Structure 1
């Protein structure tokens, strides 16, 4: 019996361990930290051996293969020891893909992944297809492969999940865009990060589809360097394309094979320039999956915004509070600021990932009246924006409650208070969802 060792005892790792158990492997899971009670209960339910709080090397280095959870960096000491032993390391996505015969629509990119993934899932559901949602959103992909059956999967896949993929192949691959993000995990080399994203395309066949933003310079620059046999379906707000999606006057035009679908912007459920791109990508994936134009239009018109992404929370004394906690990089915050039409009190900060704030300065000058820093170390934010908003209009806070109270002090009737942090959440919160929930709770307590 082959031995599989899984590193990491959260959603991804537990899902991989359950799949390994179902497939008859000798399974052991190890987490250097504490495993949450509900995940530990799941492991016990499946009779899977595990440890927490440490890594026992003799129980790990005897593995035939290791499944590494995406949050564990390749620089971790245990990873270095596994590599030194010559043991193959794969991701949960790679492992689950071996046992999955469903059609797979896979989405990666720096921004718009979750919205685009959710849109496509909603489209396929509305078309009556038997579809699962997973990857970096919802339930573990591996757990679903182990316990359920779907004809289609819509998977959001991060660069960390792609790092240890080798043979995994989507039927439809989507890169929403590529902007600097997570550079701390890629030796602060943009090229390394771009290559990680493009691993999604490495096994595409001529009958598969690659959907991409042809307005995105970084994507196009790398695309011109590689050989790709899949059918290319670009989407653009700047130029018309023969096959793909583009903006024409007040509508999106989608062309796939000999069919054309027009979608008027006023009918889209999601506003903002960034969501035009997301809607184009989703519509193209739907067309490539054989979904009719009427279903596409109806789904794009009725889709509900996802939590933590430009999510309106409450309007208090004519001040609208918006939760955009999922904006964990500069580009996501740029889109959030760009679509605001009222004066903004901006809550920003967290764990910096090598951010360059230069691109935000014109928008801050135009739209932002005050800045509330929410983070342990806010020096870069002060350096970038203090001269723009003024020393008296930028403050430091260390909790969501403190940040919301400070923002409400700056805000006047007709303003927006926007949590769009531009940074990861791990200095003060467990994850971006935790940050968003605590922001919403603080707003409700005002």
Structure 2
């Protein structure tokens, strides 16, 4: 008799898991509370996988031996509560797929910088001619890649929601870029719950494994003091010289791991800004641990082009630079963006507020921002926070209108920055949709 798996959510991770589960002999049901995309329906039908949309058939789901839950579905959803009440294990795609591969796993998590760091590590290892798959929170589904490709090393971007559903998952190298308050609406508004979720990336590591982390982040260092891990700690720092790990000194980065030494001038890094120097440190530390040649590391860091929707320079119109930072879905990411602005900035902000505290942004707004455009269904909180801080603050519910307003209030030499500090689901499908709409609106000016 075949085991049954129920998969909640028929997006990229759900469909990928379904393909792998079918291959491994499971009876599969994909169930989505909303509507499935036509492309995914076709894939599921082609693989002869049973699917439903527009609601969950609870009786069928409760026959499953195991449930894979897509990361966007909260634990407090009624169907998830019912599954847990029946004692059925609920896992994430990361957990399920990892059970079916012997590849080396490199896992990257953090509140900000994880996409850039993941992409940069993938780029470094690809340039070193390793057989690499980049998956998780970006790119193709990890499970689908495990089902369809033979890959030696996976570089996985992993969100806290995906880590909530891991049991045995253990990356050989784990990276925590930083931890700042985010998604607190999913963690009972308790920061400690969110920190604990991030540290699940290291919970199954052994002394043969590595945990790379930001030693300048007090949240991480305090947590490690109270909750030691078994893996070998590899810190990186902008402020302290380290015997083991990565550090910055005199405008250079230095990396020392297991008799491998590497150094490089910060000016030569393709990605600019302090946060990107940290991302480069984390990525080159991974490369150093894997004994990648120094010339390969250097050339990769010099040539890396960056990530779409992350401080992406779109166009210059009338000597005004338009910048797409739609991936900034929390306050800390927007802090980095505003901090990197070197010209007067018109800032487009707003969306679904996840319990944000905007006070950290006040000094940067005073220093850098000349006008604010609030782009969301409900802008009341933004208006109350920022209404007295700038001369121009305008509400809108349309990206096209937001960009047209920005065009009108800018002068030569200004920046227009989309850095929402919020999730996108009120007006857009996701942050990618929001970023693409911004770029289209700019191109249509």
Q: TM-score range by the shorter chain?
A: over 0.9
Q: CA deviation at 1:364?
A: 0.3
Do the aligned residues in 2 keep the contact of 1:107 with 1:173 (CA within 8 Å)?
yes
Spell out the pairing of 1:287-366 with structure 2 (5 A cutoff). 287-366=288-367
CA deviations over 1:249-285 (Å, ceiling 9, x no partner): 1111111122211111111000011100100000001
Q: CA shift at 1:227, angstroms?
A: 2.4
Partners in 2 of 1:411 and 1:255 — Cα distance? 46
Equivalent residue, structure 2, for 1:33: 34
Q: Which residue of 2 aligns with 1:22?
A: 23
How far apart, CA to CA, are the structure 1 residues paired with 2:284 and 2:52? 45
Query: Where does structure 2 lack aligned partners over 5 or more consecutive residues?
Result: none
Matching residue of 1:167: 168
SS of match in other structure, 1:121: helix
Hey, what's the Cα distance between the residues in 1 that align with 2:274 and 2:384? 29
CA distance in 1, matches of 2:194, 2:65: 29
- Could you tell me how far apart the structure 1 residues matched to 2:192 and 2:231 are? 22
Deviation at 1:24, TM superposition (A): 0.5
What CA distance in whole angstroms lies between the structure 2 residues aligned with 1:25 and 1:445? 49
Q: How much has 1:288 moved relative to structure 2? A: 1.0
Please give the secondary structure, in 2, of the residue aligned with 1:364.
helix
Contact 1:361 1:384 (C-alpha < 8 Å) held by counterparts: no
Counterpart Cα distance in 2 of 1:113 and 1:45: 34
Task: Describe the SS at the equivalent of 2:59.
Answer: helix
Match of 1:3? Answer: 4
Which residues of 2 match residues 258-269 of structure 1 at below 5 A? Answer: 258-269=259-270
The whole-number CA distance in structure 2 between the counterparts of 1:342 and 1:433 is 26
Equivalent residue pairs, number: 444
Q: Secondary structure at the match of 2:226?
A: coil
- Following superposition, the deviation at residue 84 of structure 1 comes to 1.1
Correspondence list, 1:370-381, <5 A: 370-381=371-382
What is aligned with 1:101?
102
CA distance in 1, matches of 2:96, 2:172: 17
Partner of residue 275, structure 1: 276
**C-alpha separation in 2, matches of 1:169 and 1:100:** 12
Counterpart residue number, 1:432: 431
Using the TM superposition, give the Cα deviation of residue 58 of structure 1 relative to its aligned residue in structure 2, in angstroms.
Answer: 1.6
Confirm or deny that 1:184 pairs with 2:185: yes
Distance 2:175 2:277 in 1: 15
Confirm or deny: 8 A CA contact 1:170 1:204 kept in the other structure.
yes
Q: Where does residue 411 of structure 1 map in the other structure? A: 410
| Separation in structure 1 between the aligned mates of residue 235 and residue 64 of structure 2, nearest angstrom | 43
Q: Which residue of 2 aligns with 1:223?
A: 224
What do residues 5-60 of structure 1 show as CA deviations (whole Å, max 9, x unaligned)? Answer: 11110001111111100001111111111000111111011110111111111211
TM-superposition CA deviations, 1:51-92 (whole Å, max 9, x none) = 111111121111111111111100000011111111111111
Q: RMSD over aligned Cα, in angstroms?
A: 0.7
What SS class does the counterpart of residue 165 from structure 1 fall into? coil
Are positions 1:149 and 2:153 aligned together? no
The alpha carbon displacement at 1:210 in A equals 0.4
> In the alignment, is the contact (CA less than 8 A) between 1:4 and 1:63 conserved in 2?
yes
Q: Which residue of 2 aligns with 1:125?
A: 126
SS at match of 2:56: coil
| 2:207 is the counterpart of 1:206 | yes
Cα distance, 1:168 vs structure 2: 0.4
Residue by residue, what CA displacement relative to the aligned partner does 1:346-381 show, whole Å, maximum 9, x if unpaired? 000000000000000000000000001111111121
Q: In structure 2, how many angstroms separate the alpha carbons of the residues matched to 1:296 and 1:347?
A: 36
- 1:105 is displaced (CA, Å) by 0.7
For the residue of structure 2 that corresponds to 1:87, the secondary structure is: coil
Q: What secondary structure is seen at the aligned counterpart in 2 of 1:71?
A: coil
Q: Find the residue that maps to 1:388 and give its secondary structure.
A: coil
Residue pair 1:233, 1:244 contacting (<8 A) in 2 also: yes
Give yes or no for contact 2:116–2:279 (8 Å, CA) kept in 1: yes
Q: More displaced, 252-261 or 151-160?
A: 252-261
Residues 181-222 of structure 1: CA deviation (Å, up to 9, x unaligned): 000111111001000000000011111110000001111111
Kindly indicate whether the alpha-carbon contact (under 8 Å) linking 1:234 and 1:244 is maintained by their aligned counterparts in 2. Answer: yes
Could you state the TM-score of these two structures normalised by the residue count of structure 2?
A: 0.99
Q: Which residue of 1 aligns with 2:64?
A: 63
- Asked if the contact 1:374/1:403 (under 8 Å) is kept, the reply is yes
